[in-house]
Structure 1
């Protein structure tokens, strides 16, 4: 399957990072790529490994002079206390940002670092093989590190999400706003000109999020040749490079058709671009990046709610909630969203179910009658 410029850039960054990594990390990355771990995840893991190896060098826990020379025997000999000291360092290290502000790492980054190391140690102790057929080492100190994540009930998580998504009425109002009212909010002629150039494209993007529930990355990677307008199906690339086919609602498929009708005349050179969504750069069509798609979703939703905009993921949440609200089953929604775990999908039963609120209201009314 074709790669977007962003995906190619990520792969290039991975190769650059590998130049400074020990051979066993290179083996790990090659192995995980073959297994389908996303390039984005691997790149983030490599950044974590780079930080970890630099810490080992600074703390004199190795005699190596650089990261690439650190032998895996150092990892095999690490004590639980060593790892705990590193985690403490992750929490306490002051990070200076570009605007000169100094902050500490958030819990999500620390968790990412721990998960990255757990994945590497698990690979080294279970999946590697020497000439004798043995793993590089067997003592996995990271297996002793327990992540204490904040527990929330599905109902609580659903409530947090429901406060920042579009409900069933707002979804239609939002699309109507973009199609008929958004232009009037623009003050400059250039902004109106660009909006009218990209209107069909942007409506197709927004409509796909709300009419199929696909992810941001999946949207950016849609290929023109993988769209079946008649059957209302689109072949997409899920997480882990899994191929899938997603069904699309009538309105969304019509918006895609409207966009395809003007794509080649509106975006010069788009016929040579395999990806569905394009933009003009230097007068020539190029694939629309994930960041650009995210920005346009935020821009339009901010204008609609007259406040803070929403992410593409919130539009995905909006679709999922509406799907359950209209009688869709969890199993069907799981397949539609491409979830690998039904527990993830079950969140939306709490998100969309108003029965609880209605029952409590009736209880209150009946009690007052007595």
Structure 2
């Protein structure tokens, strides 16, 4: 088996390993598959059939560096290149540990530093106005208000909200069970406003059942027009529509509500370690970006309010 055929087979085995043993999300598996196929296609384009070496072992660090240089020449974002490097490192580490290769060409491969960008957030006043402006005169209106309330009140991810079932909501205990990355579950408290709109939604939810309401949809917390589970793109459109009406924040997505949740909690004195648990971050470093957002906000307030802030 030549190098490329062997690599294609191992990519498929590796993706199965991510899915079954590592409980990786569908999003991660798709992204890593695309990244590894990008490297595979690069090898195909740069080697003729007659030049193909007989073993996967022949892939060198130089092959990887040439691929990264090619990505950089295409003006690909550093964050995207970093993810591709991470995918390749993980893949070759898997191959090395399983004995498919005897040396790891991606060992000690340096990941390009990501461009640091602060999370986009909306003000608390904008989000209060957004929530107050959602009409709750219809079942679908109540559902949209519930979606927005949960995003801002809990800080959960888009995939986590889309995957919610009615059984995950416990109004008596004032909490929601969320299934995050790697199928890890966590409990997030619910505030009174969240509980109030959730009650209304649960009471009228069955009116959203339709021709496509199957076993999965009957469990789902949120439903689409024909009664199937509400898919992520539809949720994104709901958030975008209401954020446009209430805020001038440049990015209008569910992640803005997640970022706003964390930043507003931090601004009001919450411990960053507690915010980490709310967000479902694996390590504190991922959460610390919100401290930078709060510092920037303090600087802006200082520059606007203090008489000695400007020349």
Q: Residues 223-253 of structure 1, C-alpha deviation per residue, up to 9 Å, x if partnerless?
A: 1112101212111111111122111221112
> What secondary structure is seen at the aligned counterpart in 1 of 2:224?
strand
Contact 2:175–2:189 (8 Å) recurs in 1: yes
Match of 2:81 among 96, 99, 110: 110
Whether the aligned pair in 1 keeps the contact of 2:146 and 2:198 (CA below 8 Å) is yes
Please name the residue that 1:7 is paired with. Answer: none
Residues 62 and 51 of structure 1, relative CA distance in 2, 3 Å threshold: farther
Query: Does structure 1 residue 148 correspond to structure 2 residue 112?
Result: yes
8 Å CA contact 2:303, 2:310 repeated in 1: no
Residues 350 and 51 of structure 1, relative CA distance in 2, 3 Å threshold: closer
Match of 2:228 among 272, 286, 292: 286
2:36 aligned to which of 49, 53, 67: 49
- With 31-40 and 215-224 compared, the bigger mean Cα shift is at 31-40
Q: Could you give the per-residue CA deviations for residues 56-98 of structure 1, whole angstroms, max 9, x where no partner exists?
A: 2232266699xxxx97x33x222322222222223345xxxxx
Q: CA deviation at 1:120?
A: 0.6
1:235 and 1:244 in contact (8 A); partners too:
yes
Structure 1 segments unaligned to the other structure (5+ residues): 1-18, 94-103, 129-134, 181-194
When the two chains are superposed, the root-mean-square deviation of aligned CA atoms in Å is 3.1
Q: Do the aligned partners of residues 367 and 87 (structure 1) sit closer, same or farther apart at CA in structure 2, a change above 3 Å counting? A: closer
Q: Distance in 2 between matches of 1:20 and 1:249?
A: 54
Helix, strand or coil: the match of 1:246?
A: strand
Question: In structure 2, do the counterparts of structure 1 residues 37 and 309 end up closer, same or farther at CA, with 3 Å as the change threshold?
Answer: closer
Q: Deviations over 1:273-301 (max 9, x none)?
A: 211110123xxx10001111011101111
Secondary structure in 2 matching 1:333:
helix
Equivalent position SS for 1:265: helix
Q: Quick one: higher RCO (CA 8 Å, sep 6+), 1 or 2?
A: 2
How many residues are paired up?
Answer: 302
Distance change in 2, residues 1:365/1:260 (3 Å): same
Retained in 2: the 8 A contact 1:301–1:309? no
Any residues of structure 2 matched to 1:1-370 within 5 Å, and which? 22-33=8-19, 34-60=21-47, 73-74=55-56, 76-92=57-73, 105-126=76-97, 128=98, 135-150=99-114, 152=116, 157=117, 160-161=118-119, 164-179=120-135, 196-268=138-210, 272=215, 273=217, 274-281=219-226, 285-305=227-247, 310-352=252-294, 364-365=307-308
The 1:348–1:55 alpha-carbon spacing in structure 2 relative to 1, beyond 3 Å, is: closer
- Alpha-carbon separation, structure 1, partners of 2:49 and 2:247: 55
For 2:30 and 2:223, the matched residues in 1 are separated by 25
**Structure 1 CA distance, aligned partners of 2:254 and 2:294?**
19
Partners of 1:62 and 1:119 in 2: CA distance: 27
Cα shift at 1:109: 3.1
Distance 1:170 1:28, change over 3 A: same
What 5-or-longer segments of structure 2 have no aligned partner? none
Q: Which has the larger radius of gyration?
A: 1
Following the alignment from structure 1 to structure 2, what is the Cα–Cα distance between the partners of residues 319 and 246?
13
TM-score normalised over the length of structure 2: 0.85
SS at match of 2:106: helix
